[in-house]
Chains A and B, each alone.
Chain A
Amino acid sequence: GAGVSQSPRYKVAKRGQDVALRCDPISGHVSLFWYQQALGQGPEFLTYFQNEAQLDKSGLPSDRFFAERPEGSVSTLKIQRTQQEDSAVYLCASSLAQGQETQYFGPGTRLLVL
């Protein structure tokens, strides 16, 4: 089936704006992850869902970051009052279930905050 998709692919925001980034995981995948990748760096974990339950949000950098997955499929990462340091690529990944270690990544959303 289709892989992980993310939208938009590119987003330019003015400092202080709110943004919402969407992730459509592979159909049937229970686990969903968000990562943040700064330019020239490796991805860093933000948060993890198992179905609709957010089991780990330890990587969210501030309370301006919020993620949800209300029906256990599509997930949205919301960033409020964006700052320049939020500029990065936001990657979504899904895996079949907890304990299924292979994560499949989407193409990412490149966010630029001016």
Chain B
Amino acid sequence: AQTVTQSQPEMSVQEAETVTLSCTYDTSESNYYLFWYKQPPSRQMILVIRQEAYKQQNATENRFSVNFQKAAKSFSLKISDSQLGDTAMYFCAFMKHAGAQKLVFGQGTRLTINP
């Protein structure tokens, strides 16, 4: 079975700073997807960024980028130039490439951006 661990329950930074959220996972699969989802206080889960394990290049989406270390089974999210609207719960998630398409989530990191 796959597990996802987020070791930072809460983080807080000032607006415009850069922040990195950590995620590690455990799997015996060789091909899979990794995701970061954002859940603002309204609770609608929104996809932030995704990474395919067979791609060595780290994914980027505007101010969001990941550091994917496959051998270390690490998948951190970096948010540059943080904005007040980035305040949310952030969940790291794993999905096998084939077969069951269910997401396995970490426990989440509550990120607060302070003005």
Chain A interface residues (CB < 8 Å from chain B): 31, 33, 35, 40-45, 48, 55-56, 59, 89, 91, 93, 95, 98-99, 101-108
CA distance in complex: A1, B50 (Å) = 22
B45→A91 contact, CB < 8 A: yes
Q: Which of chain A's residues have a CB closer than 8 A to the CB of B93?
A: 42
CA distance in complex: A56, B101 (Å) = 10
In residues 6-49 of chain B, which contact A (Cβ within 8 Å)? 33, 37, 42-47
Question: Which one of B42, B46, B95, B105 lies within 8 Å of A43 (CB-CB)?
Answer: B105
Of A42, A59, A98, chain B has the most CB atoms within 10 Å of the CB of A42
Q: Which of chain A's residues have a CB closer than 8 A to the CB of B105?
A: 42-44
B102→A56 contact, CB < 8 A: yes
Of B47, B95, B101, B106, chain A has the most CB atoms within 10 Å of the CB of B101
Whole-angstrom distance between the Cβ of A35 and the nearest chain B Cβ: 8
Whole-angstrom distance between the Cβ of B35 and the nearest chain A Cβ: 8
B103→A43 contact, CB < 8 A: yes
Q: Which of chain B's residues have a CB closer than 8 A to the CB of A101?
A: 33, 50, 95, 101
Q: What are 13 A-B contacts with C-beta separation under 8 Å? A: A40-B108, A42-B4, A42-B91, A42-B105, A42-B107, A43-B91, A101-B50, A101-B95, A101-B101, A103-B47, A103-B101, A105-B46, A107-B42
CA distance in complex: A99, B33 (Å) = 11
Q: Which of chain B's residues have a CB closer than 8 A to the CB of A56?
A: 100, 102
Q: Which of chain A's residues have a CB closer than 8 A to the CB of B102?
A: 33, 45, 48, 56, 59
A105→B108 contact, CB < 8 A: no
Closest to B92 in A: A42
